Chain A
Amino acid sequence: MKDVKIYTENLSVFFDYIQALNNVSIQIKANRVTSIIGPSGCGKTSFLRTLNRMNDLMHGFKMKGEVKIDGVDIYDDNIDVVNLRKLVGMVFQKSNLFPKSVYENLIFAPKLNNIKDKNKLDEIVERSCTQASIWDEIKDRLNDNALNLSAGQQQRLCIARALSVNPDVLLMDEPASALDPISTSRIEELIFELKKDYTILVVTHNMQQAARISDFTAFFYLGQLVEFEKTTKIFTNPSNKQTEDYITGRFG
Protein backbone atom coordinates (compact mmCIF):
# COMPACT_ATOMS: atom_id res chain seq x y z
CA MET A 1 0.00 0.00 0.00
CA LYS A 2 1.41 3.33 -1.01
CA ASP A 3 -0.03 5.54 1.71
CA VAL A 4 1.19 3.39 4.60
CA LYS A 5 3.56 5.49 6.72
CA ILE A 6 4.32 3.24 9.65
CA TYR A 7 4.36 -0.51 9.43
CA THR A 8 5.08 -3.00 12.16
CA GLU A 9 5.27 -6.76 11.80
CA ASN A 10 5.13 -9.08 14.82
CA LEU A 11 6.51 -6.36 17.08
CA SER A 12 7.18 -7.55 20.62
CA VAL A 13 8.72 -5.34 23.31
CA PHE A 14 10.23 -6.41 26.62
CA PHE A 15 11.47 -4.49 29.62
CA ASP A 16 13.73 -6.96 31.40
CA TYR A 17 11.44 -9.95 31.72
CA ILE A 18 8.15 -8.10 31.43
CA GLN A 19 6.55 -8.23 28.03
CA ALA A 20 4.92 -4.92 27.13
CA LEU A 21 3.91 -5.65 23.53
CA ASN A 22 3.08 -9.00 22.01
CA ASN A 23 3.20 -9.55 18.24
CA VAL A 24 1.75 -6.25 17.14
CA SER A 25 1.28 -5.92 13.40
CA ILE A 26 -0.23 -2.66 12.24
CA GLN A 27 -0.19 -0.38 9.21
CA ILE A 28 -0.66 3.30 9.94
CA LYS A 29 -1.64 5.56 7.08
CA ALA A 30 0.08 8.79 6.22
CA ASN A 31 -1.69 12.11 6.90
CA ARG A 32 -4.27 10.48 9.09
CA VAL A 33 -4.91 10.65 12.81
CA THR A 34 -4.71 7.28 14.50
CA SER A 35 -5.93 6.94 18.08
CA ILE A 36 -4.53 4.31 20.37
CA ILE A 37 -6.90 3.34 23.14
CA GLY A 38 -6.88 0.72 25.86
CA PRO A 39 -6.76 0.37 29.63
CA SER A 40 -3.71 1.49 31.63
CA GLY A 41 -0.71 -0.76 31.24
CA CYS A 42 -1.85 -2.24 27.94
CA GLY A 43 1.24 -1.11 26.06
CA LYS A 44 -0.04 2.07 24.40
CA THR A 45 2.85 4.26 25.51
CA SER A 46 5.40 1.49 24.91
CA PHE A 47 4.12 1.21 21.37
CA LEU A 48 4.38 4.95 20.81
CA ARG A 49 7.90 5.10 22.20
CA THR A 50 8.99 2.23 19.99
CA LEU A 51 8.31 4.40 16.97
CA ASN A 52 10.86 7.11 17.87
CA ARG A 53 13.10 4.71 19.77
CA MET A 54 12.67 6.55 23.06
CA ASN A 55 12.42 3.07 24.59
CA ASP A 56 16.13 2.70 23.91
CA LEU A 57 16.64 4.96 26.93
CA MET A 58 14.63 2.68 29.20
CA HIS A 59 16.31 0.12 31.38
CA GLY A 60 16.28 -3.44 30.03
CA PHE A 61 14.56 -2.66 26.73
CA LYS A 62 14.51 -5.43 24.10
CA MET A 63 12.43 -5.77 20.98
CA LYS A 64 11.64 -8.40 18.38
CA GLY A 65 9.95 -8.00 15.02
CA GLU A 66 10.03 -5.18 12.50
CA VAL A 67 9.21 -1.48 12.54
CA LYS A 68 9.32 0.39 9.27
CA ILE A 69 8.70 4.06 8.59
CA ASP A 70 8.44 4.96 4.91
CA GLY A 71 9.69 1.44 4.19
CA VAL A 72 12.90 1.88 6.22
CA ASP A 73 13.60 -0.45 9.11
CA ILE A 74 14.21 1.97 11.97
CA TYR A 75 15.88 -0.68 14.13
CA ASP A 76 18.50 -1.36 11.48
CA ASP A 77 22.10 -0.97 12.63
CA ASN A 78 22.64 1.83 10.11
CA ILE A 79 19.94 4.03 11.61
CA ASP A 80 21.06 7.06 13.61
CA VAL A 81 18.63 7.30 16.51
CA VAL A 82 19.26 11.02 16.98
CA ASN A 83 18.27 11.81 13.40
CA LEU A 84 15.30 9.45 13.56
CA ARG A 85 13.90 11.45 16.49
CA LYS A 86 14.08 14.61 14.40
CA LEU A 87 11.69 13.01 11.93
CA VAL A 88 9.41 11.45 14.51
CA GLY A 89 8.42 14.19 16.95
CA MET A 90 6.84 13.57 20.31
CA VAL A 91 4.50 15.42 22.65
CA PHE A 92 4.24 14.18 26.22
CA GLN A 93 1.41 13.83 28.67
CA LYS A 94 2.65 16.64 30.88
CA SER A 95 4.14 19.68 29.22
CA ASN A 96 7.89 19.50 29.64
CA LEU A 97 9.16 22.87 28.50
CA PHE A 98 12.67 23.83 29.48
CA PRO A 99 12.89 26.43 32.26
CA LYS A 100 13.97 29.00 29.69
CA SER A 101 12.24 31.65 27.63
CA VAL A 102 9.54 30.81 25.09
CA TYR A 103 11.92 31.73 22.28
CA GLU A 104 14.76 29.58 23.62
CA ASN A 105 12.43 26.60 23.89
CA LEU A 106 11.46 26.99 20.26
CA ILE A 107 14.98 27.37 18.90
CA PHE A 108 16.43 24.53 20.98
CA ALA A 109 15.95 21.89 18.29
CA PRO A 110 16.87 24.09 15.28
CA LYS A 111 20.08 25.00 17.08
CA LEU A 112 20.90 21.31 17.48
CA ASN A 113 20.81 21.24 13.68
CA ASN A 114 23.34 24.06 13.61
CA ILE A 115 20.95 26.71 12.37
CA LYS A 116 22.48 29.94 13.69
CA ASP A 117 21.11 32.62 11.40
CA LYS A 118 18.83 34.87 13.47
CA ASN A 119 16.36 35.51 10.63
CA LYS A 120 16.06 31.84 9.90
CA LEU A 121 15.48 31.05 13.58
CA ASP A 122 12.82 33.77 13.79
CA GLU A 123 11.18 32.31 10.73
CA ILE A 124 11.10 28.82 12.28
CA VAL A 125 9.67 30.19 15.53
CA GLU A 126 6.87 31.97 13.71
CA ARG A 127 6.15 29.04 11.41
CA SER A 128 5.97 26.41 14.16
CA CYS A 129 3.90 28.66 16.44
CA THR A 130 1.48 29.45 13.65
CA GLN A 131 1.11 25.76 12.91
CA ALA A 132 0.44 25.11 16.58
CA SER A 133 -2.04 28.05 16.51
CA ILE A 134 -0.36 29.76 19.43
CA TRP A 135 1.47 32.54 17.56
CA ASP A 136 -1.08 35.28 18.29
CA GLU A 137 -0.98 34.53 22.00
CA ILE A 138 2.76 34.44 22.47
CA LYS A 139 4.28 36.63 19.79
CA ASP A 140 4.61 39.41 22.38
CA ARG A 141 5.78 37.08 25.12
CA LEU A 142 8.69 35.37 23.39
CA ASN A 143 11.12 36.46 26.08
CA ASP A 144 8.93 35.43 29.01
CA ASN A 145 9.80 32.32 30.96
CA ALA A 146 7.91 29.50 29.26
CA LEU A 147 6.80 28.12 32.61
CA ASN A 148 4.74 31.28 33.22
CA LEU A 149 2.30 30.40 30.45
CA SER A 150 -0.99 28.69 31.26
CA ALA A 151 -1.09 24.89 31.22
CA GLY A 152 -2.96 24.80 27.89
CA GLN A 153 -0.56 27.27 26.30
CA GLN A 154 2.40 25.27 27.60
CA GLN A 155 1.11 22.11 25.97
CA ARG A 156 0.54 23.86 22.65
CA LEU A 157 4.01 25.36 22.93
CA CYS A 158 5.31 21.80 23.37
CA ILE A 159 3.57 20.93 20.12
CA ALA A 160 5.13 23.98 18.45
CA ARG A 161 8.52 22.92 19.79
CA ALA A 162 8.04 19.41 18.38
CA LEU A 163 7.13 20.94 15.00
CA SER A 164 10.20 23.18 14.96
CA VAL A 165 12.34 20.39 13.44
CA ASN A 166 9.86 19.65 10.64
CA PRO A 167 9.05 16.07 11.57
CA ASP A 168 7.05 13.64 9.40
CA VAL A 169 5.31 11.89 12.20
CA LEU A 170 3.92 13.35 15.41
CA LEU A 171 3.46 11.05 18.41
CA MET A 172 1.21 12.38 21.15
CA ASP A 173 1.02 10.64 24.49
CA GLU A 174 -2.24 11.74 26.13
CA PRO A 175 -1.59 15.34 25.12
CA ALA A 176 -4.76 16.72 26.71
CA SER A 177 -5.20 14.54 29.78
CA ALA A 178 -4.00 17.24 32.18
CA LEU A 179 -5.97 20.08 30.60
CA ASP A 180 -9.36 21.70 31.11
CA PRO A 181 -12.14 21.17 28.52
CA ILE A 182 -11.49 24.44 26.66
CA SER A 183 -7.77 23.83 26.29
CA THR A 184 -8.55 20.24 25.34
CA SER A 185 -10.82 21.29 22.51
CA ARG A 186 -8.16 23.68 21.24
CA ILE A 187 -5.64 20.84 21.13
CA GLU A 188 -8.17 18.66 19.32
CA GLU A 189 -8.82 21.35 16.70
CA LEU A 190 -5.09 21.67 16.33
CA ILE A 191 -4.65 17.93 15.74
CA PHE A 192 -7.30 18.13 13.05
CA GLU A 193 -5.42 20.98 11.36
CA LEU A 194 -2.05 19.28 11.61
CA LYS A 195 -2.98 16.04 9.87
CA LYS A 196 -2.70 17.84 6.53
CA ASP A 197 1.05 17.89 6.98
CA TYR A 198 1.79 15.16 9.47
CA THR A 199 1.00 11.57 10.31
CA ILE A 200 -0.34 11.70 13.83
CA LEU A 201 -0.66 9.05 16.50
CA VAL A 202 -2.53 9.96 19.66
CA VAL A 203 -2.64 7.85 22.79
CA THR A 204 -5.75 8.70 24.75
CA HIS A 205 -7.82 7.51 27.67
CA ASN A 206 -10.75 9.55 26.53
CA MET A 207 -13.01 7.52 24.25
CA GLN A 208 -15.01 10.53 23.09
CA GLN A 209 -11.78 12.24 22.17
CA ALA A 210 -10.68 9.27 20.09
CA ALA A 211 -14.05 9.28 18.33
CA ARG A 212 -13.87 13.01 17.67
CA ILE A 213 -10.37 13.41 16.36
CA SER A 214 -9.21 10.22 14.71
CA ASP A 215 -9.68 8.53 11.36
CA PHE A 216 -8.45 5.17 12.65
CA THR A 217 -8.50 3.64 16.09
CA ALA A 218 -6.36 0.86 17.48
CA PHE A 219 -7.50 -0.94 20.62
CA PHE A 220 -4.71 -2.47 22.69
CA TYR A 221 -5.27 -4.91 25.51
CA LEU A 222 -2.59 -6.72 27.55
CA GLY A 223 0.12 -5.86 25.04
CA GLN A 224 -1.81 -7.13 22.06
CA LEU A 225 -3.48 -5.25 19.26
CA VAL A 226 -7.05 -6.43 19.58
CA GLU A 227 -8.68 -4.43 16.88
CA PHE A 228 -7.59 -1.81 14.35
CA GLU A 229 -10.26 -0.23 12.23
CA LYS A 230 -11.73 2.97 10.92
CA THR A 231 -12.85 4.99 13.93
CA THR A 232 -16.45 5.09 12.73
CA LYS A 233 -16.50 1.32 12.48
CA ILE A 234 -14.89 0.70 15.87
CA PHE A 235 -17.25 3.00 17.70
CA THR A 236 -20.42 1.87 15.97
CA ASN A 237 -19.87 -1.74 15.12
CA PRO A 238 -16.75 -3.27 16.71
CA SER A 239 -16.05 -6.78 15.55
CA ASN A 240 -14.39 -7.90 18.76
CA LYS A 241 -16.22 -8.52 22.03
CA GLN A 242 -13.36 -7.06 24.16
CA THR A 243 -13.35 -3.87 22.10
CA GLU A 244 -17.06 -3.50 22.53
CA ASP A 245 -16.83 -4.08 26.29
CA TYR A 246 -14.10 -1.47 26.62
CA ILE A 247 -15.77 1.15 24.47
CA THR A 248 -19.10 0.77 26.21
CA GLY A 249 -17.38 1.12 29.55
CA ARG A 250 -17.86 -2.42 30.82
CA PHE A 251 -14.21 -2.54 31.87
CA GLY A 252 -11.14 -0.36 31.71
Chain B
Amino acid sequence: MDTQSPYAKKISKRFRAKEKLIKYFFFLNGFVTVLLILLIFLFLLKESFAGYTDFNLSEYFFTEKTLADGSTEKIFEWFPTSEDQRLSIVPLILGTLLTAIPATIISTMLGVFVGIYLSEIAGSRLREILKPIIELFAGIPTVVLGFFMLVVGATYFQDVFFTTSRLNAILAAVGLSFIIIPIIATLTEEALRSIPLELRMASYSLGATKWQTISRVIIPTAVSGISAGIILGFGRAVGETMIVLMASGNAAELTLDVFRSVRTMTATIAAELGEVSAGSQHYFALFFIGTVLFIGTFLLNLIAELIINKMRKKIRF
Protein backbone atom coordinates (compact mmCIF):
# COMPACT_ATOMS: atom_id res chain seq x y z
CA MET B 1 0.00 0.00 0.00
CA ASP B 2 1.17 3.49 -0.77
CA THR B 3 1.36 4.91 2.71
CA GLN B 4 2.46 8.27 1.41
CA SER B 5 -0.76 9.10 -0.39
CA PRO B 6 -2.99 11.53 1.52
CA TYR B 7 -5.97 9.23 1.09
CA ALA B 8 -4.20 6.27 2.68
CA LYS B 9 -3.16 8.50 5.57
CA LYS B 10 -6.72 9.60 6.14
CA ILE B 11 -8.09 6.12 6.39
CA SER B 12 -5.10 4.40 7.93
CA LYS B 13 -5.52 2.53 11.23
CA ARG B 14 -5.70 4.59 14.37
CA PHE B 15 -5.11 3.41 17.88
CA ARG B 16 -8.10 4.45 19.97
CA ALA B 17 -6.95 4.02 23.56
CA LYS B 18 -10.22 5.07 25.16
CA GLU B 19 -12.32 2.60 23.15
CA LYS B 20 -9.96 -0.22 24.08
CA LEU B 21 -9.94 0.78 27.73
CA ILE B 22 -13.70 0.87 27.95
CA LYS B 23 -13.94 -2.51 26.29
CA TYR B 24 -11.50 -4.09 28.75
CA PHE B 25 -13.14 -2.38 31.71
CA PHE B 26 -16.51 -3.95 30.94
CA PHE B 27 -14.96 -7.29 30.09
CA LEU B 28 -13.12 -7.25 33.43
CA ASN B 29 -16.33 -6.60 35.35
CA GLY B 30 -18.11 -9.49 33.69
CA PHE B 31 -15.09 -11.72 34.08
CA VAL B 32 -14.69 -11.00 37.80
CA THR B 33 -18.34 -11.89 38.43
CA VAL B 34 -18.05 -15.21 36.67
CA LEU B 35 -14.70 -15.88 38.34
CA LEU B 36 -16.12 -15.22 41.80
CA ILE B 37 -18.97 -17.66 41.29
CA LEU B 38 -16.54 -20.24 39.98
CA LEU B 39 -14.23 -19.73 42.97
CA ILE B 40 -17.11 -20.04 45.42
CA PHE B 41 -18.09 -23.31 43.76
CA LEU B 42 -14.51 -24.61 43.83
CA PHE B 43 -14.19 -23.66 47.50
CA LEU B 44 -17.45 -25.51 48.28
CA LEU B 45 -16.23 -28.55 46.39
CA LYS B 46 -12.83 -28.50 48.08
CA GLU B 47 -14.30 -28.19 51.55
CA SER B 48 -16.97 -30.82 51.03
CA PHE B 49 -14.60 -33.48 49.71
CA ALA B 50 -11.67 -32.71 51.99
CA GLY B 51 -10.80 -34.76 55.01
CA TYR B 52 -11.78 -38.22 53.85
CA THR B 53 -9.55 -40.61 55.66
CA ASP B 54 -11.87 -43.17 57.14
CA PHE B 55 -15.06 -41.64 55.75
CA ASN B 56 -17.08 -43.08 52.90
CA LEU B 57 -19.02 -40.68 50.65
CA SER B 58 -22.08 -42.93 50.95
CA GLU B 59 -22.30 -41.95 54.62
CA TYR B 60 -23.65 -38.58 53.50
CA PHE B 61 -26.71 -40.52 52.40
CA PHE B 62 -27.05 -43.44 54.80
CA THR B 63 -25.21 -45.31 57.52
CA GLU B 64 -25.36 -49.06 57.93
CA LYS B 65 -26.31 -50.43 61.28
CA THR B 66 -25.70 -54.01 62.25
CA LEU B 67 -28.71 -55.57 63.95
CA ALA B 68 -28.72 -58.24 66.60
CA ASP B 69 -29.27 -61.07 64.11
CA GLY B 70 -26.21 -60.03 62.11
CA SER B 71 -28.08 -58.44 59.19
CA THR B 72 -27.54 -54.79 58.31
CA GLU B 73 -30.07 -52.00 57.98
CA LYS B 74 -29.71 -48.65 56.21
CA ILE B 75 -30.53 -45.72 58.41
CA PHE B 76 -31.09 -42.16 57.24
CA GLU B 77 -30.45 -39.86 60.14
CA TRP B 78 -28.85 -36.50 60.74
CA PHE B 79 -27.24 -36.61 64.18
CA PRO B 80 -24.04 -34.64 63.63
CA THR B 81 -23.15 -34.02 67.26
CA SER B 82 -23.97 -37.41 68.71
CA GLU B 83 -21.27 -39.76 69.96
CA ASP B 84 -22.32 -42.16 67.22
CA GLN B 85 -22.29 -39.54 64.47
CA ARG B 86 -24.76 -39.96 61.60
CA LEU B 87 -24.56 -37.50 58.70
CA SER B 88 -27.27 -38.56 56.22
CA ILE B 89 -28.55 -35.53 54.33
CA VAL B 90 -31.59 -37.47 53.10
CA PRO B 91 -33.95 -36.15 55.82
CA LEU B 92 -32.69 -32.64 55.08
CA ILE B 93 -33.37 -33.02 51.34
CA LEU B 94 -36.84 -34.33 52.20
CA GLY B 95 -37.36 -31.39 54.54
CA THR B 96 -36.40 -28.95 51.79
CA LEU B 97 -38.76 -30.62 49.32
CA LEU B 98 -41.59 -30.76 51.85
CA THR B 99 -41.41 -27.01 52.31
CA ALA B 100 -40.48 -25.96 48.77
CA ILE B 101 -42.99 -28.09 46.84
CA PRO B 102 -46.13 -27.04 48.77
CA ALA B 103 -44.87 -23.45 48.68
CA THR B 104 -44.49 -23.65 44.90
CA ILE B 105 -47.95 -25.21 44.48
CA ILE B 106 -49.61 -22.51 46.60
CA SER B 107 -47.67 -19.76 44.85
CA THR B 108 -48.35 -21.13 41.38
CA MET B 109 -52.09 -21.19 41.95
CA LEU B 110 -52.13 -17.64 43.28
CA GLY B 111 -49.21 -16.17 41.35
CA VAL B 112 -50.32 -17.26 37.89
CA PHE B 113 -53.80 -15.81 38.42
CA VAL B 114 -52.37 -12.60 39.81
CA GLY B 115 -50.10 -12.39 36.75
CA ILE B 116 -53.02 -12.95 34.37
CA TYR B 117 -55.04 -10.34 36.22
CA LEU B 118 -52.24 -7.78 36.11
CA SER B 119 -51.42 -8.31 32.47
CA GLU B 120 -54.81 -8.86 30.89
CA ILE B 121 -57.62 -7.68 33.11
CA ALA B 122 -56.46 -4.80 35.31
CA GLY B 123 -56.43 -1.42 33.60
CA SER B 124 -53.10 0.30 33.12
CA ARG B 125 -53.64 2.66 36.04
CA LEU B 126 -54.60 -0.12 38.44
CA ARG B 127 -51.63 -2.19 37.25
CA GLU B 128 -49.26 0.66 38.01
CA ILE B 129 -50.51 0.69 41.59
CA LEU B 130 -50.80 -3.07 42.14
CA LYS B 131 -47.56 -4.22 40.56
CA PRO B 132 -45.21 -2.29 42.89
CA ILE B 133 -47.25 -3.44 45.89
CA ILE B 134 -46.90 -7.08 44.87
CA GLU B 135 -43.20 -6.62 44.17
CA LEU B 136 -42.86 -5.02 47.59
CA PHE B 137 -43.84 -8.38 49.11
CA ALA B 138 -40.69 -9.91 47.67
CA GLY B 139 -38.71 -7.16 49.36
CA ILE B 140 -39.96 -7.85 52.90
CA PRO B 141 -36.97 -9.04 54.93
CA THR B 142 -37.44 -12.78 55.22
CA VAL B 143 -36.67 -12.65 58.94
CA VAL B 144 -39.80 -10.52 59.37
CA LEU B 145 -41.88 -13.05 57.48
CA GLY B 146 -40.33 -15.88 59.51
CA PHE B 147 -41.06 -14.04 62.74
CA PHE B 148 -44.65 -13.43 61.62
CA MET B 149 -45.19 -17.12 60.81
CA LEU B 150 -43.52 -18.17 64.07
CA VAL B 151 -45.55 -15.91 66.33
CA VAL B 152 -48.86 -15.21 64.59
CA GLY B 153 -49.18 -17.77 61.78
CA ALA B 154 -48.37 -20.81 63.90
CA THR B 155 -51.11 -20.10 66.45
CA TYR B 156 -53.86 -19.63 63.87
CA PHE B 157 -52.59 -22.61 61.95
CA GLN B 158 -52.78 -24.90 64.93
CA ASP B 159 -56.28 -23.70 65.75
CA VAL B 160 -57.44 -24.52 62.22
CA PHE B 161 -55.58 -27.74 61.37
CA PHE B 162 -54.98 -29.17 64.89
CA THR B 163 -51.45 -30.07 63.89
CA THR B 164 -49.32 -32.11 66.23
CA SER B 165 -46.28 -29.95 65.73
CA ARG B 166 -46.87 -26.25 66.18
CA LEU B 167 -44.08 -25.46 63.72
CA ASN B 168 -44.26 -27.59 60.61
CA ALA B 169 -43.48 -27.87 56.90
CA ILE B 170 -46.75 -26.47 55.62
CA LEU B 171 -46.46 -23.43 57.89
CA ALA B 172 -43.02 -22.72 56.48
CA ALA B 173 -44.42 -23.27 52.97
CA VAL B 174 -47.09 -20.63 53.55
CA GLY B 175 -44.38 -18.25 54.75
CA LEU B 176 -42.30 -19.01 51.66
CA SER B 177 -45.31 -18.29 49.46
CA PHE B 178 -45.17 -14.62 50.45
CA ILE B 179 -41.90 -14.23 48.61
CA ILE B 180 -42.58 -16.70 45.78
CA ILE B 181 -46.00 -15.41 44.72
CA PRO B 182 -44.47 -12.09 43.61
CA ILE B 183 -41.77 -13.93 41.65
CA ILE B 184 -44.27 -16.12 39.78
CA ALA B 185 -46.77 -13.27 39.39
CA THR B 186 -44.30 -10.82 37.88
CA LEU B 187 -42.72 -13.42 35.59
CA THR B 188 -46.17 -14.57 34.44
CA GLU B 189 -47.15 -10.97 33.83
CA GLU B 190 -43.99 -10.37 31.81
CA ALA B 191 -44.48 -13.53 29.78
CA LEU B 192 -48.06 -12.57 28.96
CA ARG B 193 -47.23 -8.99 28.12
CA SER B 194 -44.47 -10.10 25.77
CA ILE B 195 -47.14 -11.64 23.53
CA PRO B 196 -47.31 -9.22 20.61
CA LEU B 197 -50.38 -7.04 20.12
CA GLU B 198 -50.74 -8.44 16.59
CA LEU B 199 -51.64 -11.87 17.99
CA ARG B 200 -54.34 -10.42 20.23
CA MET B 201 -55.67 -8.45 17.27
CA ALA B 202 -55.77 -11.61 15.16
CA SER B 203 -57.81 -13.34 17.82
CA TYR B 204 -60.26 -10.48 18.36
CA SER B 205 -60.72 -9.94 14.64
CA LEU B 206 -61.82 -13.56 14.28
CA GLY B 207 -64.59 -12.99 16.78
CA ALA B 208 -62.95 -14.26 19.96
CA THR B 209 -64.09 -12.86 23.28
CA LYS B 210 -61.59 -11.53 25.78
CA TRP B 211 -61.55 -14.75 27.79
CA GLN B 212 -61.24 -16.88 24.64
CA THR B 213 -58.29 -14.72 23.59
CA ILE B 214 -56.64 -15.13 26.99
CA SER B 215 -57.23 -18.86 27.27
CA ARG B 216 -56.69 -19.96 23.66
CA VAL B 217 -54.02 -17.58 22.38
CA ILE B 218 -52.21 -15.69 25.10
CA ILE B 219 -51.70 -18.38 27.76
CA PRO B 220 -50.75 -21.19 25.32
CA THR B 221 -48.20 -18.89 23.70
CA ALA B 222 -46.78 -17.79 27.04
CA VAL B 223 -46.87 -21.19 28.74
CA SER B 224 -43.11 -21.70 28.64
CA GLY B 225 -42.50 -18.27 30.16
CA ILE B 226 -44.96 -19.06 32.91
CA SER B 227 -43.33 -22.42 33.63
CA ALA B 228 -39.91 -20.75 33.76
CA GLY B 229 -41.35 -18.44 36.42
CA ILE B 230 -42.58 -21.43 38.39
CA ILE B 231 -39.17 -23.11 38.21
CA LEU B 232 -37.41 -19.94 39.35
CA GLY B 233 -39.91 -19.65 42.19
CA PHE B 234 -39.15 -23.23 43.20
CA GLY B 235 -35.42 -22.45 43.08
CA ARG B 236 -35.98 -19.52 45.40
CA ALA B 237 -38.02 -21.71 47.77
CA VAL B 238 -35.22 -24.28 47.90
CA GLY B 239 -32.60 -21.63 48.61
CA GLU B 240 -34.57 -19.55 51.13
CA THR B 241 -33.22 -19.83 54.68
CA MET B 242 -34.65 -17.49 57.28
CA ILE B 243 -38.34 -18.35 56.93
CA VAL B 244 -37.79 -22.11 57.07
CA LEU B 245 -35.30 -21.75 59.92
CA MET B 246 -37.92 -19.98 62.01
CA ALA B 247 -41.15 -21.70 60.97
CA SER B 248 -40.36 -25.30 60.04
CA GLY B 249 -39.59 -26.61 63.51
CA ASN B 250 -36.10 -27.81 62.54
CA ALA B 251 -36.51 -31.46 63.51
CA ALA B 252 -34.58 -33.60 61.03
CA GLU B 253 -37.21 -36.29 60.74
CA LEU B 254 -37.53 -38.77 57.93
CA THR B 255 -41.12 -37.97 57.07
CA LEU B 256 -43.45 -37.23 54.18
CA ASP B 257 -46.06 -35.59 56.38
CA VAL B 258 -46.25 -31.86 55.74
CA PHE B 259 -47.89 -31.28 59.11
CA ARG B 260 -44.79 -32.42 60.97
CA SER B 261 -41.65 -30.51 61.79
CA VAL B 262 -38.90 -30.74 59.22
CA ARG B 263 -35.38 -29.41 58.87
CA THR B 264 -34.23 -28.01 55.54
CA MET B 265 -30.75 -28.03 54.06
CA THR B 266 -30.45 -24.24 54.24
CA ALA B 267 -31.62 -24.02 57.84
CA THR B 268 -29.13 -26.74 58.81
CA ILE B 269 -26.20 -24.80 57.38
CA ALA B 270 -27.37 -21.53 58.95
CA ALA B 271 -27.94 -23.05 62.37
CA GLU B 272 -24.91 -25.29 62.62
CA LEU B 273 -22.04 -23.74 60.72
CA GLY B 274 -21.45 -21.11 63.41
CA GLU B 275 -20.86 -23.72 66.10
CA VAL B 276 -19.12 -26.52 64.28
CA SER B 277 -15.40 -27.01 64.81
CA ALA B 278 -13.57 -26.31 61.58
CA GLY B 279 -12.09 -29.38 59.95
CA SER B 280 -14.40 -31.86 61.63
CA GLN B 281 -16.43 -34.32 59.61
CA HIS B 282 -19.57 -32.41 60.57
CA TYR B 283 -17.98 -29.23 59.12
CA PHE B 284 -17.28 -30.99 55.81
CA ALA B 285 -20.80 -32.39 55.76
CA LEU B 286 -22.24 -28.88 55.99
CA PHE B 287 -20.16 -27.89 52.98
CA PHE B 288 -21.38 -30.94 51.15
CA ILE B 289 -24.96 -29.74 51.76
CA GLY B 290 -23.89 -26.37 50.37
CA THR B 291 -22.57 -28.04 47.23
CA VAL B 292 -25.80 -29.99 46.72
CA LEU B 293 -27.82 -26.77 47.13
CA PHE B 294 -25.55 -24.86 44.79
CA ILE B 295 -25.77 -27.47 42.03
CA GLY B 296 -29.52 -27.91 42.53
CA THR B 297 -30.44 -24.24 42.31
CA PHE B 298 -27.94 -23.70 39.50
CA LEU B 299 -29.62 -26.43 37.45
CA LEU B 300 -33.09 -25.02 38.17
CA ASN B 301 -32.05 -21.55 37.03
CA LEU B 302 -30.36 -22.99 33.95
CA ILE B 303 -33.50 -24.91 32.96
CA ALA B 304 -35.65 -21.80 33.44
CA GLU B 305 -33.25 -19.74 31.32
CA LEU B 306 -33.30 -22.35 28.53
CA ILE B 307 -37.11 -22.44 28.52
CA ILE B 308 -37.33 -18.64 28.32
CA ASN B 309 -34.88 -18.58 25.39
CA LYS B 310 -36.90 -21.21 23.60
CA MET B 311 -40.07 -19.17 24.05
CA ARG B 312 -38.39 -16.04 22.65
CA LYS B 313 -37.57 -18.00 19.52
CA LYS B 314 -41.09 -19.34 19.26
CA ILE B 315 -42.78 -15.94 19.09
CA ARG B 316 -40.44 -14.32 16.60
CA PHE B 317 -42.39 -11.25 15.67
Contacts and interface: CB of A to CB of B under 8 A. Distances in A.
Interface string B275-315: 00000000000000000000000000000000000000011
B201 A82 contact: no
B138 interface: no
A57 B315 contact: no
A245 B207 CA distance: 39
Given A54-B201, A98-B221, A108 B315 contact: no
B46 interface: no
A225 interface: no
Contact of B205 (A94, A98, A99, A162): A162
B310 to A, nearest CB: 12
A165 B207 contact: yes
A4 interface: no
Nearest to A52: B205
Which of B199, B201, B207, B221 is packed against the most chain A CB atoms within 10 Å?
A: B207
B206 interface: yes
Contact of A82 (B196, B198, B199, B208): B208
Contacts of A99: 221, 314-315
A32 interface: no
B156 interface: no
Interface centre among A86, A97, A98, by most B CB within 10 Å? A98
A140 to B, nearest CB: 23
Interface residues of A, number: 26
Interface string B185-210: 00000000000101101111111110
Which of B201, B202, B217: most chain A Cβ within 10 A? B202
Interface bin, chain B: 20 to 34
Contacts of A162: 205-206
A147 B316 contact: yes
A98 B204 CA distance: 12
A94 B315 CA distance: 14
> By CB atoms of chain A within 10 A, which of B203, B205, B314 has the most?
B205
A94 B197 CA distance: 12
A96 interface: yes
Given A96-B199, A99-B221, A99-B314, A85 B212 contact: no
A98 B207 contact: no
Contacts of A52: 205
B9 interface: no
B202 A86 contact: no
Interface string A91-122: 01010111110000000110011000000000
Contacts of A92: 198, 201-202, 205
A148 to B, nearest CB: 11
Interface string B211-251: 01000110011000000000000000000000000000000
12 contacts: A54-B201, A57-B201, A85-B204, A92-B198, A96-B199, A96-B202, A96-B317, A108-B206, A108-B216, A109-B208, A158-B202, A161-B206
Closest 10 CB pairs of A and B: A86-B207, A96-B198, A90-B205, A109-B206, A96-B202, A85-B207, A82-B207, A99-B314, A82-B209, A112-B208
